[in-house]
Amino acid sequence: MRIILFGSPGVGKGTQAKILSSKFNIAHISTGDILRKAVKDQTPMGIKAQSVLNRGELVSDDIMIGLIKDTLQQPECKNGFILDGFPRSTAQAIALDALLMELNIKDIHLLAITADEEELVQRLTQRRVCKQCGSLFNYFDIKDKTNCPVCDAGNSFYQRDDDSEKVIRYRIEIYKNTTKPVLDYYEGRKKVIYINGAGEVDNITNDILSKLEPDK
């Protein structure tokens, strides 16, 4: 199973990626993770990326494609993969198509998880973090709002700066502006499977599995 996964901030993309990765025994490829790992391991592409980052610049599409190419050829991707966080532009989508053709990787499933924007804003602005243990919670789900249910620290909940409404709306707007053209690009070439990200996690997973099943 090979999946390219799209989803707005707060839509539950990361949660579903972990579930699908375990379900199908496939690698979850987060572009942020592989970039950090390549830099840490000082691979040839990681060294290139580090020099760019040290200059305070954005890593180029060529470097990201190189990192993804290295990753897709690793043993952990033999059974398949979930590519999460790439492509984010039409140019990246075109480059990724060329890479997949070069590696003779076919039968890609395009999965886009969607949700109402106001629901996403509400969901993300209710996130709280325990400053003691780092656990993440939804404020409405915390029964005892004084003590952390994980480490029992008192009065330790706080809202991260990037979970403020202003930042969240900005992140969602960026996602819409950059990802819609990518989905439009794929619509003309491949089937995009759209999943409603509202509701219980298990129900969303079952919806995904039922729509992937006929394509196996």
Mean pLDDT of the chain: 90
pLDDT, tens only, 3-57: 999 998 889 898 899 999 999 999 999 888 888 888 889 988 889 888 888 887 7
Of 16 and 176, the structure prediction assigns the larger pLDDT to 16
| Per-residue pLDDT at 216 | 45
CA-to-CA distance for 137 and 123, rounded, in angstroms? 11
| Per-residue pLDDT at 155 | 92
**52-67 in b/e burial notation, b at 16+ Cβ within 10 A?**
eeeeeeebebebbbbb
pLDDT, tens only, 62-114: 989 999 999 999 999 999 999 998 998 899 999 999 999 999 998 999 999 99
- Residues with catalytic annotation? 13, 88, 127, 160, 171
DSSP assignment of 51-97 equals HHHHTTPPPPHHHHHHHHHHHHTSGGGTT-EEEES---SHHHHHHHH
| Per-residue pLDDT at 105 | 93
**Residue % of the chain over a pLDDT of 90:** 53
Per-domain boundaries in the chain: 2-26+79-115+177-215
| Per-residue pLDDT at 214 | 56
Upstream peptide bond of 181 is cis (omega within 30 degrees of 0): no
Average pLDDT for residues 157-173, to the nearest whole number? 89
CA-to-CA distance for 24 and 18, rounded, in angstroms? 10
Superfamily of domain 2-26+79-115+177-215: P-loop containing nucleotide triphosphate hydrolases (3.40.50.300)
pLDDT, tens only, 109-133: 999 999 999 988 988 899 999 999 9
Order of strands, edge to edge, in the sheet holding 2-7?
A: 27-30, 81-84, 2-7, 108-114, 192-196
| Per-residue pLDDT at 215 | 47
Q: Per this entry, what is the length of the chain?
A: 216
| Whole-prediction pTM | 0.80
Nearest to 68, CA basis, from 99, 93, 23: 99
| Per-residue pLDDT at 4 | 96
Order of strands, edge to edge, in the sheet holding 136-138?
A: 136-138, 127-130, 157-158
